[in-house]
Structure 1
Amino acid sequence: MRKIVINGGRSLKGRVTVSGAKNSVVALIPAIILADGIVTLDGVPAISDVDSLIDIMETMGATVTRQGETLEIDPRGVQDMPMPFGKINSLRASYYFYGSLLGRFGQAVVGLPGGCDLGPRPIDLHLKAFEAMGARVTYEGQNMRLSTEGQRIHGAHIYMDTVSVGATINTILAAVKAEGRTVIENAAREPEIIDVATLLNNMGARIRGAGTDIITIDGVENLHGTRHQVIPDRIEAGTYIALAAAVGEGIQIDNVLYEHLESYIAKLEEMGVRMTVSEDAVFVEKQDKLKAVSIKTSPYPGFATDLQQPITPLLLKATGSGYITDTIYEKRVGHVQELANLGADIQTRGNRIAYKGPSHLRGTAVKATDLRAGAAMVIAGLMAEGRTEITNIEFILRGYSNIIEKLTELGADIQLVEE
Structure 2
Amino acid sequence: MNAFEVTGSRKLKGEIHPQGAKNEALQVISAVLLTEEEVVIKNIPDILDVSRLITLLEALGVKIKQLNKHTYSFKSEDVNTDFLYSEDFRKKGGALRGSIMIAGPMLARFKKAVIAKPGGDKIGRRGMDTHVDGFEKLGAHFTYNTHTFCLEFTTKALKGNYIMLDEPSVTGTANVLMAAVLAKGNTTIYNAACEPYVQQLCKMLNRMGAKISGIASNMLEVEGVEGLHGTEHTLLPDMIEIGSFIGMAALTQSDITIKNVSLENLGVIPDKFKRLGIEMEFRNDDIYIPEQKCYEIQPPLNGNILTIYDHPWPGFTPDLLSIVLVTAIQARGSVLIHQKMFESRLFFTDTLIDMGAKIILCDPHRATVIGLEREHHLKGIRMSSPDIRAGVALLIAAMSAEGKSIIQNIEQIQRGYENIEQRLNALGAEIKLIND
Per-residue CA deviations over 1:246-279 (Å, capped at 9, x if unaligned) read 2243200012122333322112222221110133
- Match for residue 34 of structure 2? 34
Question: Which of 202-211 and 258-267 deviates more?
Answer: 258-267
**1:165–1:193 contact (8 Å) kept in structure 2:** yes
Query: Could you tell me the TM-score, scaled by structure 2's length?
Result: 0.93
Alignment of 1:8-407 (within 5 A): 8-66=8-66, 67-81=68-82, 82=84, 84-141=89-146, 142-148=149-155, 151-292=156-297, 293-350=306-363, 351-358=365-372, 360-407=377-424
Per-residue CA deviations over 1:34-75 (Å, capped at 9, x if unaligned) read 012111111000100111011101110011112201011111
Q: Give, as a single letter, the amino acid of the residue that structure 2 aligns with 1:5.
A: E
- 2: CA distance between counterparts of 1:133 and 1:161? 15
1:321: how far off? 2.1
- 2: CA distance between counterparts of 1:279 and 1:168? 32
**1:337–1:347 contact (8 Å) kept in structure 2:** no
Q: Cα–Cα, structure 1 residues 65 and 277, in superposed 2: closer, same or farther, change >3 Å? A: same
Aligned length: 417
1:294: how far off? 2.9
- Match for residue 435 of structure 2? 418
1:320: how far off? 2.2
Q: Give, as a single letter, the amino acid of the residue that structure 2 aligns with 1:361.
A: L
- 2: CA distance between counterparts of 1:262 and 1:63? 36
Per-residue CA deviations over 1:301-323 (Å, capped at 9, x if unaligned) read 11110000122221001122221
1:210: how far off? 2.1
**1:34–1:104 contact (8 Å) kept in structure 2:** yes
**1:13–1:248 contact (8 Å) kept in structure 2:** no
Query: Could you tell me the TM-score, scaled by structure 1's length?
Result: 0.97
- 1: CA distance between counterparts of 2:81 and 2:151? 14
Identity %: 36
Question: Which of 241-250 and 212-221 deviates more?
Answer: 241-250
Structure 2: any 5+ residue segments left out of the alignment?
Answer: 298-305
- 2: CA distance between counterparts of 1:199 and 1:261? 19
**2:53–2:98 contact (8 Å) kept in structure 1:** no
Q: For residue 77 of structure 2, give the secondary structure of its aligned residue in structure 1.
A: helix
Per-residue CA deviations over 1:162-196 (Å, capped at 9, x if unaligned) read 21111100111101111111110111110000111
- 1: CA distance between counterparts of 2:107 and 2:267? 36
Per-residue CA deviations over 1:189-227 (Å, capped at 9, x if unaligned) read 100001111111111111111210110111111111111
**1:334–1:373 contact (8 Å) kept in structure 2:** no
1:128: how far off? 0.7
- 2: CA distance between counterparts of 1:257 and 1:301? 15
Q: Which runs of 4+ in 1 moved over 6 A?
A: none
Q: Give, as a single letter, the amino acid of the residue that structure 1 aligns with 2:117.
A: L
**1:155–1:219 contact (8 Å) kept in structure 2:** yes
Per-residue CA deviations over 1:275-306 (Å, capped at 9, x if unaligned) read 10133210001113222343111111111100
**1:365–1:388 contact (8 Å) kept in structure 2:** yes
- 1: CA distance between counterparts of 2:70 and 2:417? 14
**1:39–1:72 contact (8 Å) kept in structure 2:** yes
- 2: CA distance between counterparts of 1:418 and 1:368? 15
Q: For residue 334 of structure 1, give the secondary structure of its aligned residue in structure 2.
A: coil
Q: Give, as a single letter, the amino acid of the residue that structure 2 aligns with 1:274.
A: E
Q: Cα–Cα, structure 1 residues 13 and 72, in superposed 2: closer, same or farther, change >3 Å? A: same
- 2: CA distance between counterparts of 1:77 and 1:394? 33
- Match for residue 302 of structure 2? none
Q: Give, as a single letter, the amino acid of the residue that structure 2 aligns with 1:217.
A: V
Q: Give, as a single letter, the amino acid of the residue that structure 1 aligns with 2:342.
A: Y
- 2: CA distance between counterparts of 1:51 and 1:134? 32
**1:247–1:383 contact (8 Å) kept in structure 2:** yes
Q: Give, as a single letter, the amino acid of the residue that structure 2 aligns with 1:52.
A: R
**1:7–1:413 contact (8 Å) kept in structure 2:** yes
Q: For residue 81 of structure 2, give the secondary structure of its aligned residue in structure 1.
A: coil
**1:257–1:279 contact (8 Å) kept in structure 2:** no
**1:263–1:303 contact (8 Å) kept in structure 2:** yes
- 2: CA distance between counterparts of 1:123 and 1:143? 12
